[in-house]
Amino acid sequence: MAKPFFHYNIFKRLLLLNHLFSGKIRIRLLTKLLLNPSSKVYLRGLEKELGVSSNTVRLELKKLSGMKLIEMQEEDAKAKVKHYSVNTSHPLFGSLRNIILQHVGLDQIIEQIIAKLGDVDKVYLTGDLAQGKNSSFIDLVIVGNIDKTYLHKLIDKAEPLIGKKIRVALFTVGEFKDEHLMDLGVVIDLIEG
């Protein structure tokens, strides 16, 4: 009796994944929200950023809300501004976030560079990717006691694998201050515990 239920759950998840990745706008929206789960988006901002009509954005937000992947919050009932954020408690959140990390190449950076550097204290993603925008660049801030020559060798190996250029700001633990991140806009901690 457990097998039909198991197969039904797999079938349901496959249908959800098929539904999730069926449009470019939806993928761009999911990328934006899943890369930075603490971000909040709103209709007019997405309309400008994605370069599509507000109706198209509204339909995508409605579909993702219906799947319970995103949540809507109204900050002020009088202003009628609705903000949307990813539902981090959704059962597929972790898996979908990993797919998006693979899509933009961050999984390769973590595997091929950060994990091999050794004495890394902090790694931050900045720039367009941190904002959920597609980019041919991956901008990182790395804090630690790092061999720069080895870092550049690893970057040279990783760039062809991910099809993106990697730009790095490197700091020792003693040099780095949180103020260094202040002018960078959206910043995502890639190795937070």
Q: Give the list of residues 6+ apart from residue 109 with CB closer than 8 angstroms, or none.
A: 138, 140, 158, 162, 166
Amino acid symbol at 133: K
Q: What is the pLDDT of residues 12-37, one digit of tens each?
A: 544 555 555 556 777 778 777 887 78
Of the chain, the percentage scoring pLDDT greater than 90 comes to 10
Q: What is the pLDDT of residues 68-98, one digit of tens each?
A: 888 988 766 666 778 889 999 988 888 888 7
CB-based burial label for 103 (10 Å; 0-12, 13-18, 19+): middle
The answer, yes or no, to whether residue 60 has pLDDT greater than 50, is yes
Q: Which domains does the chain have, with CATH numbers?
A: 2-96 (1.10.10.10), 105-189 (3.30.460.10)
Q: In terms of pTM, does the model score above 0.85? A: no
- pLDDT of res. 143: 92
What is the rounded CA–CA span in Å between residue 89 and residue 86? 9
From the list 101, 125, 145, 96, the residue with the least C-alpha distance to 191 is 125
- pLDDT of res. 89: 92
From the list 17, 8, 191, the residue with the least C-alpha distance to 107 is 191
